[in-house]
Amino acid sequence: MEETKFIPGKRIDKARIIGLEKGKLPPQAIDFEVAVLGAMMIDKKGIDDVIDILHPDAFYDKRHQEIYAAIYTLFQNSEPTDLLTVSAQLRKDGKLDLVGGDFYLINLTQKVASSAHIEYHARIILQKYIQRKLISISSDIIESAYDETMDVFDLLDEAEAKLFEVTQGNLKKGSEDAGDLVKQALRKIQDISNQEGMSGLATGFSKLDALTSGWQPSDLIIIAARPGMGKTAFVISMAKNMAIDFGHAVALFSLEMSSVQLITRMISSETGLTSEKLRKGNLEAHEWEQLNVKVKKLSDAPIYIDDTPSLSIFDLRAKARRLVSQHGVRIIVIDYLQLMTAGGSGKGGGNREQEISTISRNLKALAKELEVPVIALSQLSRAVETRGGSKRPLLSDLRESGAIEQDADIVSFIFRPEYYGVTEWDDDEHTSCEGQGEFIVAKHRNGGLENIRLKFTGHLAKFSDLEEGFSSEFQSKMNVTPDQFSSPQDAFGSEEDDDMMPF
């Protein structure tokens, strides 16, 4: 194979070299580039159709990059765009000779008759550019992977950042016609009426469901509290309700606790056996029976847990897409937001507040892209503890970034007065707050605000509706006697018979 010769002082297109090494030209669509540029110079409508789709680097031919840049400059300055003005702009930039002079511009306009199908042509150009970009990124990754001095985790961060940049910068959604949107809205209203007003995913907390009509697709929900208030307990109770009672597939990304710890807490909540007893394993015969009967529902529940520590937003997006497409996941829960990383290789640049802002913005984008509600737990600042009087949290207590409040569709807080030694609610009736918590909806983009009181069962780390409490009537649902099981082997069967849970 003939060796590639490099000419000193001449700029070599890296993508072109990569393609030629494999005996292939890089992906390109020169005819479409000609058609798009020609149409833009003869019809102003053509500019309106593609100006937000393409950028100069999307063109493969260097001449076409310069011509499009001149057209873009004219558009930005609200100046007319035609053969003469484009020529004048290129002359002003000193690029007219580089593109082939007026003769080449005239040639472009003569090859098209109108701007028909220009948007379709532009998207083909964009697809070819993305392919070239992926080839270039892959080449850089391969080259860096052979470098023994390169830290592998820095390499992963760099690869994530570059791929994320391609996704964010080039995949754009166009606007939709009002007529089509009205039809979609009417269909949705009809569906809601058939579901008795529940348009989203029911949580199992009746007052919360009445307020929100369930968690809505594409919403970002922030649940914030100080440590020890029960954020994780709330989402575990909610996930269990949604998966067991309503059959909704739930994805839970736990950055703080291991998956086994979370499942143990779910088992405790579902069976009524304390986490301490489950940890020690010293259960009575009837408790083994209780565990065996109640845990079967949890075993069959569509709950998927990922306990990857320091999860980046890029990894989360990739994993969430797979869970939605492969397992039909209906809701995504992150515990908790401040333990996530933005990813990328820009270490030392920016600050933590900007990083949290990037994460919250991308969580909202993820909710819209997958059309599922995304719930992110968040820590509150210490201002709550130092504040005199009521310790009830405020929006201003959200830790590290005001962008969280801005991006979220719902911002809520969990507040348990008992934690601060308070025994009565600060209402007119001064009712007892023992064993209770408050779910405070402080921001609700599409609905009202409310403070919803819930029952909190501390030894089970479980939230439930205030009027329900924990049911201990499991004996009536059993078809076995308390002395039937006497050991964990009898209760669960042998390892060969054990069915693995999806989590």
Looking at the annotation, which residues are catalytic? 256
Nearest partner of 483 among 287, 282, 286, 294, judged by Cα:
286
In order of 53, 127, 312, the CA distances from 120 in angstroms are: 10, 11, 35
For residue 23, what are its two tokens?
A: 């005996």
Cα 370 from Cα 169, distance rounded (Å): 18
For residue 359, what are its two tokens?
A: 């994460």
Between strands 374-379 and 462-465, the pairing is: unpaired
Nearest partner of 200 among 216, 222, 221, judged by Cα:
216
In order of 234, 243, 244, 373, 394, the CA distances from 412 in angstroms are: 12, 22, 24, 14, 9
Rg over CA atoms, the chain: 30
Cα 252 from Cα 222, distance rounded (Å): 14
Angle at 35 between CA 29 and CA 38, to 5 degrees: 135
Nearest partner of 456 among 465, 448, 447, judged by Cα:
465
At 472 the three-state DSSP class reads: coil
Residues comprising the chain, all counted:
503
Contact 33, 65 (CB under 8 A): no
Between strands 374-379 and 410-415, the pairing is: unpaired
Residue type, 263: I
Continuous segment of H or E residues that includes residue 192: helix 178-194
Which residues is 201 bridged to in the sheet?
215
Q: What is the SS3 assignment for 435-460?
A: CEEEEEEEEECCCCCEEEEEEEEHHH
- Token pair 């780390």: residue: 461
